[in-house]
Structure 1
Amino acid sequence: MAETVTPTPRTAPGSTRRERTGWYFYDWAMSAFSTTVLTVFLGPFLTSVAKLAAGCELGADDCTGYVYPLGIKVAAGSYFPYLVSASVFLTVFVLPVVGAVADRSAHKKRLLAVAAFVGAGATIGMVFVTGDRYLLGGALFMVANIAFGAGVVVYNSFLPQLGGPDDRDGISSRGWALGYLGGGLLLALNLVVVMMFSRDGDGQRTLDLARASIVSAGVWWALFTLVPLRWLRERPTAEAAAGGGNVLLDGFRQLGRTLRQIRAYPLTLFFLLAFLVYNDGIQTVIALASQYGTEELNLEQDTLIVTILLVQFLAFGGALLLGALAKRIGAWKTVLLSLVLWTGVILAAFWLPAEAPVPFMILGAMIGLVLGGSQALSRSLFSQLIPEGKEGEYYGFYEISDKGTSWLGPLAFGLVFQLTNSYRVGLVSLLIFFVVGFALLAAVPIRRAIVAAGNTPPRVL
């Protein structure tokens, strides 16, 4: 029997606990890709595969060979950061269209399913990246990362429909918290496997275990996506529920109208600019932390996994903690505070000694306390700035720099490394994103911006 869908007014959103739990579980599902793949295994894995293609031996840290994707000379150590940047370049064109189609569709759950299963399938396809097949690995990563971003656009567009202005910070924070818990659980399982089966000095075994961990994230992503597909309700706008016309073509037309009309909301654009800048720095730290640990600090893979696992579980508590703080001082002030803490993290990371696991783990604990809250509250704060009926489109623009799909940060990191052959110098280049992002966000008159978008501000900002 076909599911009945009814439009729900934006001004009086309501949702059941079951529906909200279903929404939380997509964060649980997709965080396996964000954590196990992007944050821990894929950077070192593809870097090792690229080094093999460049003629280096496994475990040869002093090898600075080159690969030639599409005939372009690229240092093997810069291959993964460049891939991240390339995938984001493509998302600039893809994600706003996905958002526009989601706003026009009466069946957003189907769009969520397509994005999730395509991304999970590409991740599982990493099982075929053996030997020196760095091009196959790069192609699969780009498909998975773009599909990941598309899924998050559709997922985020449900948020304004699940609660009113005073509820969204809490809903968003609980979603992020559960995501970190799920990602941490899978990472813990992978940690057990790596510790049980790895062998000192066996680079091929390490590569095989990394590949298996990446594939496990794809399976996890696909499996737990079934929960939100079951429990979420379709809540289309009145226009989408009326049907008629071609959804894809109408989505393109609507996107064109939004791009022409978006200048009517300059404060929303200004917030988005601030977010794009500071979140670029956050996502670069997340995406390249493991590569920094292995290549610059000479840390073992199990040390990196333990540290990221620590980050995950502390981020679970950190998201809830900053969510509670936002109730007292407001989401805007809480995000500004988190950016100050991020600046301290970068400065501390620059001075970390090599081959010293404990200081690296302490830094990971600092990251965990600010990571989840800064992301969750940015998402809920942005939901207040979106004109009614444009949630998918605006979250399409938002997602361009979210969830590990940043491009300026990885590009700067990769270029600085290629010029200096130093990951530490590359890390310092990320400070500009947090300093400038803080200044831009502090300049946003947030309450006036919410009213200008036609929404009711929460009691505390």
Structure 2
Amino acid sequence: MTDTKTIQRAWCMYDWANSSYLLVITSTLFPIYFNGVTRSFFHSEEVMFFGLQVTNTVLYSYSVATAFLIVAVLSPILSGIADSGGSRLKFLKLFTFIGSASTFSLFWFKGHNVEFGIIMSVLAGVGYSGSLVFYNAFLPEITSSDQYDQLSARGYAFGYVGSLILLLISFGLIKNFGLVGLDNEGTAVRIAFMLVGVWWFGFAQYSFYHLPKEKVESGGKDKAWLIDGLKEIVKVFRTIQHMPNTKVYLLAFFFYSTGVQAVMHLAASFGEKELKLESGKLIATIMIIQVVAIAGAYVFSYISKKYNNGISILCMLVLWVGVCLFAYQTTHEFEFYGLAFVVGLVMGGIQSMSRSTFSKLIPENTHDNTSFFSFYDVVEKLSIVFGTFSFGFVESMTGSMRNSTLILALYFIVGILLFVFSRLLKSSTFRSI
């Protein structure tokens, strides 16, 4: 039997495999490439999508929202599958294939076939997000509860290092396309899409080989997963109605996560369109954000220990408002780099602090930890849908992505107000980490 350390390493390696999609495709290369090739083909910011005329950046915002809306709807069902036993590895393989194959297929998107590009990008997003449900479900099976944080952090580190390595490889390929016999930069970017698909699927095989092979439980329990997940979500929702601090925190989390996720997914698109930054500079900017995010997680963890989680999150939300307001008037690339540094600082902090804060609000003696976090995951996915859709909608109504940054500032302000005018900051539950 495979030893525990090998199983845990295999679990972490899946983060190494699929994080390349989030960093290289979603956050960096695809939005930049999409804006460029559609503008070149249509000689305009306006593109035709199934007979409808729409701004290219608006269309991309809507496509991100669509992918996460699909996963938000499926999440309760997927959680039911994961909890029913016997199907985790099978569905992890399925969503990995959907995501990696769709990412690989982006090689054939050249600008004229907008529908193909959008459909493949949405399927890739569904594959990525859907796979995480089953990936996370393995954690309680491969280690003890006192090791959750350590192993989870190790997986995050694997994902960060792996995705950064592939981004550097892709960046080198794009900047030196002539040296490897390629005709232009666009071809190099499309090859990078293929590399992400191969990287994701290839390294995932190590995880698939070593992760526990589950046996399907008898008695037909596995057939009830279509309703089991929904029942668990409803159960948690009813429980939260009697937990005022948790209810207010989730509402605040929804609003500020709306802003955070929109920035994460659309920052590169903003820089390319509003500041006319070339791809090399945008990729370098994303690298700055990734590196600084690690430091940000530690900085705000320290603030949390010194005061409490509520104060730490409140400080970050104030900074997020400043980020949005500064982005509205940013006109120079060096201002954008400075903005990226601050974004990285608060992005790393807000992601790590939000999840750990929610864990403290879960009843100590509950047996429904998975269901609580499944509910949390649905709230987060819906915030991505709301954030990316509203960002695109405001741009479509006003003609400027700058105006969209102001609506994001409003979401952060709502989060601040919910913290200030509730009992969250004084709650004993928000003890130091």
Whether contact under 8 Å (1:116, 1:222) holds in the other structure is yes
Going from structure 1 to structure 2, the CA distance change for 1:138 and 1:390 (only over 3 Å counts) comes to farther
Deviation at 1:217, TM superposition (A): 1.8
Deviation at 1:415, TM superposition (A): 1.6
Whether contact under 8 Å (1:329, 1:460) holds in the other structure is yes
Whether contact under 8 Å (1:97, 1:251) holds in the other structure is yes
1:89 maps to 2:69: yes
1:252 maps to 2:226: yes
Q: Quote the residue 1:334 is aligned against.
A: 312
Going from structure 1 to structure 2, the CA distance change for 1:208 and 1:402 (only over 3 Å counts) comes to farther
- SS of equivalent residue, structure 1 residue 365: helix
Whether contact under 8 Å (2:10, 2:210) holds in the other structure is yes
Q: Quote the residue 1:100 is aligned against.
A: 80
- SS of equivalent residue, structure 1 residue 74: strand
Q: Quote the residue 2:26 is aligned against.
A: 38
Deviation at 1:102, TM superposition (A): 0.5
Q: TM-score if structure 1 supplies the norm length?
A: 0.80
Q: Distance in 2 between matches of 1:158 and 1:449?
A: 31
State the AA in 2 paired with 1:244: G
State the AA in 1 paired with 2:232: T
Q: Distance in 1 between matches of 2:311 and 2:5?
A: 29
Going from structure 1 to structure 2, the CA distance change for 1:145 and 1:365 (only over 3 Å counts) comes to same
Whether contact under 8 Å (1:84, 1:405) holds in the other structure is no
Q: Quote the residue 2:163 is aligned against.
A: 183
1:312 maps to 2:284: no
Q: TM-score if structure 2 supplies the norm length?
A: 0.84
Q: Could you tell me which of 176, 179, 201 is aligned with 1:222?
A: 201
- SS of equivalent residue, structure 1 residue 311: helix
Q: Quote the residue 1:60 is aligned against.
A: none
Going from structure 1 to structure 2, the CA distance change for 1:325 and 1:111 (only over 3 Å counts) comes to farther
Q: Quote the residue 1:6 is aligned against.
A: none
State the AA in 2 paired with 1:460: S
Q: Distance in 1 between matches of 2:300 and 2:137?
A: 22
Q: Quote the residue 2:56 is aligned against.
A: 76
Deviation at 1:308, TM superposition (A): 0.6
Deviation at 1:446, TM superposition (A): 9.2
- SS of equivalent residue, structure 1 residue 335: helix
Q: What percent identity do the matched residue pairs reach?
A: 27
Going from structure 1 to structure 2, the CA distance change for 1:372 and 1:244 (only over 3 Å counts) comes to farther
State the AA in 2 paired with 1:146: V
Q: Distance in 2 between matches of 1:205 and 1:404?
A: 38
Q: Quote the residue 2:101 is aligned against.
A: 121
1:379 maps to 2:359: no
1:362 maps to 2:338: yes
| Larger CA deviation: 271-280 vs 319-328 | 319-328
State the AA in 2 paired with 1:216: L
Going from structure 1 to structure 2, the CA distance change for 1:233 and 1:375 (only over 3 Å counts) comes to farther
Q: Distance in 2 between matches of 1:194 and 1:405?
A: 33
Question: Counterparts of 1:155-166 in structure 2 under 5 Å?
Answer: 155-159=135-139, 162=143, 164=145
Aligned length, in residue pairs = 422
State the AA in 2 paired with 1:362: G
Going from structure 1 to structure 2, the CA distance change for 1:131 and 1:307 (only over 3 Å counts) comes to closer
State the AA in 1 paired with 2:14: Y
| Larger CA deviation: 146-155 vs 390-399 | 390-399
Q: Distance in 1 between matches of 2:5 and 2:124?
A: 30
| Larger CA deviation: 361-370 vs 140-149 | 361-370
State the AA in 1 paired with 2:240: Y
1:211 maps to 2:186: no
Going from structure 1 to structure 2, the CA distance change for 1:16 and 1:383 (only over 3 Å counts) comes to farther
Give the gaps of 5 or more residues in structure 1: 4-14, 57-62, 451-456
| Larger CA deviation: 280-289 vs 440-449 | 440-449
Give the gaps of 5 or more residues in structure 2: none
Q: Could you tell me which of 244, 253, 260 is aligned with 1:275?
A: 253
